[in-house]
Amino acid sequence: MAVDRADNPDGGRSDKRALRTKRRAAADPNRPGERCNAVAGSWTPVVDRTKCEGERDCVVVCPNDVFEVRRMDDADFAALGLATKLRVTAHRRRSAYTPGADACRACGLCVVACPKSAITLFPPG
């Protein structure tokens, strides 16, 4: 089946990258959490905005649609130090957010997929 370049203008490179990212994260022996066996919402994914550069790897690997990458909220941006504000601005103020955190099942894929180590999973309690 031929790929329509209008539907996939990069010739499928982003699909291949996403697949590599998912496989690498799934195979990581240091993956925290409970391998997707936790009760939904019992663990909490937290994004460190001083590290996140909005690279979307968390969005790609999360099987529960916990993450979204968007422009950083003004309040979050204001809380950053000057040097971090400059770096974040260079990355178009993009950051991951967790609007679906109540669906997190602690698979840990986001933690190991994040190239900036900006995500931490906190256990219940």
Q: In terms of C-beta distances under 8 Å and separation of at least 24 residues, what long-range contacts does 47-50 make, across chains too?
A: 47/95, 47/96, 47/97, 47/98, 47/118, 47/119, 48/118, 48/119, 48/120, 49/76, 49/79, 49/80, 49/88, 49/95, 49/118, 50/80, 50/81, 50/84
pTM of the predicted structure, to 2 decimals: 0.83
Q: Where are the domains of the chain?
A: 13-122
**What CATH number labels 13-122?**
3.30.70.20
Residue 12 has pLDDT above 80, yes or no: no
- pLDDT per position as a tens digit, 41-54: 999 999 999 999 99
